[in-house]
Structure 1
Amino acid sequence: MLKREVEYFFGAVRFFTRLPVPGWVGHSAEALNHSARYFPAVGLLVGGIGALVYGAAALLWPPAVAVLLSMAATIYATGAFHEDGLSDTVDGLGGGWDKLRILEIMKDSRVGSYGVVAMVLALLGKFTLLVALDPALVPFALLAGHAVSRFCATLLLATMDYVREDLLAKAKPLATRLSTGALFCALLFVGLALALLPLAKAVAGCLLAGLATFWLAAKFRRWLGGYTGDCLGATQQISEIAFYLGLLAQFAH
């Protein structure tokens, strides 16, 4: 049973990152379905890479440079997988007028003006927010931001239907509806990351990330009737930014 769970975790790593996994890890639609519970764990892994790079770079360069290098490391580790989803989603919702046209645009490998603007704002936004944080807090913010945002994407898997069951689909659904147990497992990894942050900041970050996810889910439901893989990437990116915004929020005493 333990080996099976380890295989599910590595399956999630293989799907969402460019990191190598053991050769004995198999691949099947069923295994990918079960791996959804480990999406936040992959966030911990990617955030950990960013935190390590930030910590090492901060010994040699100013915090802004360390943040830039940490962002480059996480993007390299994931192959800009989620950034691509954000770009495609914004292009589709910005340029489409009905479900079919939106899905056609999202499938197109070309990047439109909406997608370019979204990627630039997302990257600049994350950089600005992380630089504005207390440098000592940045490594823990990276761990939690990547884990929480992937849990937000997992919530879409648990509550919405996959809508690309047609010839436009780039790939099969990532996962079917998650069970309560799988969702709880995913939440455990989020809790591990949040435990490293001050409680008030963790709560504020999760609140804003949750609001961003709720808003996106409503938009996807209205225009698509569900989600696509690109929608999950967009949710991860926007909820990560929202989480950092929450960490920076100043509340009156």
Structure 2
Amino acid sequence: MLTIKQVIAREWQAFWLATGFLSRIPMLARINYSDRLMNQCAVYFPLVGLMLGAMYAGLYLALSEAWSPLTCLILVTGFHLWITCAFHEDGLADSVDAFGGGSSPGGKLRIMKDSRIGTYGTVALIAALALKVTLLGESGTIWLALLLSPMVARLTPLLIMGCLPYVTDPDKSKSKPVADSFDRNRLLYAGLSTAVMTMLLTKFHVGILLWSIVATLGVALVWGLYVRKQLGGYTGDALGASVVFGELVLLLGLASLE
């Protein structure tokens, strides 16, 4: 049985492993890597999203001293694509290419693994980025939308992982250790902590909390069912796409609520 000190050390490593998995941010901990630790790190995806959101909000506030909101949002979006290696956007493009061009589950999976981007993926990526910048600009409090949306959206793939089987070539997948034997109990912890942080960040704005729940559950349900119909389960690319969709749906609500 692990001691409290060992549990804290393990969770500390899991957090920084999640940070390194989702971004370019240097890991400020020595990681005793294992597939089990990689699996456990998924619970910290929303917290990593909050850290990224704090960077986006801070950068926006600093840039807004010199430039217009639109210019600042484009620059922040560019920084987001760099700091995350366009990880989730790549998943969106690959998923749309696969579902638009594949005629069978096997064919769709092959297209997903193709590093080239097609017409479907290009159009989806441009539309998603344009819509994101537009919705952020229409939010009543732009810095809050930048802070909140990365955290809430990164809960969506955890819901999909908790409900669907993983389908892809395990020897060629970066996401396999995260997805393998996903612990649903940790999903509960992630959901509760995300809800609490949302309430604190919005000063107990019930409308934003409810819309965050609707956006997260709605995207997980609709996208999850679609992915299951197309592939029989989820892939890492499908999880990445769910983050992009989760952000967009959340921002749609924030643009009308604030």
TM superposition score normalised by structure 2: 0.90
Structure 1's 19 and 204: CA in aligned 2 closer, same or farther, altered over 3 A? same
Q: Does 1:93 align with 2:96?
A: no
Cα shift readout 1:70-97 (whole Å, capped 9, x = no counterpart): 2122221101011101000000001001
Q: Name the structure 2 match of 1:199.
A: 206
Cα RMSD (Å): 1.8
Cα shift readout 1:110-131 (whole Å, capped 9, x = no counterpart): 0000000010001001000001
Structure 1's 113 and 199: CA in aligned 2 closer, same or farther, altered over 3 A? same
Indicate which of 157, 171, 174 corresponds to 2:174: 171
The whole-number CA distance in structure 2 between the counterparts of 1:128 and 1:222 is: 31
Task: For residue 227 of structure 1, give the secondary structure of its aligned residue in structure 2.
Answer: coil
Return the letter of the residue paired with 2:166. Answer: Y
Number of aligned pairs? 248
Return the letter of the residue paired with 2:195. Answer: G
Q: Does 1:21 align with 2:24?
A: no
Q: Which runs of 5+ in 2 are unaligned?
A: 1-6
Return the letter of the residue paired with 1:248. Answer: A
Q: Name the structure 1 match of 2:122.
A: 116
In terms of mean alpha carbon deviation, does 174-183 or 68-77 score higher? 174-183
The whole-number CA distance in structure 2 between the counterparts of 1:166 and 1:22 is: 29
- Given that 2:207 and 2:257 are in contact with CA atoms closer than 8 Å, whether structure 1 keeps it comes out as no
Task: For residue 179 of structure 2, give the secondary structure of its aligned residue in structure 1.
Answer: coil
- Given that 1:44 and 1:193 are in contact with CA atoms closer than 8 Å, whether structure 2 keeps it comes out as no
In terms of mean alpha carbon deviation, does 204-213 or 8-17 score higher? 204-213
Q: Which runs of 5+ in 1 are unaligned?
A: none
The whole-number CA distance in structure 1 between the counterparts of 2:257 and 2:196 is: 24
The whole-number CA distance in structure 1 between the counterparts of 2:175 and 2:221 is: 24
In terms of mean alpha carbon deviation, does 116-125 or 17-26 score higher? 17-26
Cα shift readout 1:18-48 (whole Å, capped 9, x = no counterpart): 1111362232211110001101111111111
TM superposition score normalised by structure 1: 0.92
Q: Does 1:157 align with 2:161?
A: yes
Kindly report structure 1 stretches of 4+ aligned residues shifted beyond 6 Å. none
Q: Does 1:249 align with 2:256?
A: yes
Identity rate, percent: 33
The whole-number CA distance in structure 1 between the counterparts of 2:88 and 2:170 is: 22
Task: For residue 132 of structure 2, give the secondary structure of its aligned residue in structure 1.
Answer: helix
Structure 1 residues 31-180: aligned runs within 5 Å: 31-134=37-140, 137-165=141-169, 169-171=172-174, 173=176, 174-180=178-184
The whole-number CA distance in structure 2 between the counterparts of 1:131 and 1:45 is: 21
Structure 1 residues 6-17: aligned runs within 5 Å: 6-17=12-23
Task: For residue 85 of structure 1, give the secondary structure of its aligned residue in structure 2.
Answer: helix
- Given that 1:158 and 1:177 are in contact with CA atoms closer than 8 Å, whether structure 2 keeps it comes out as no
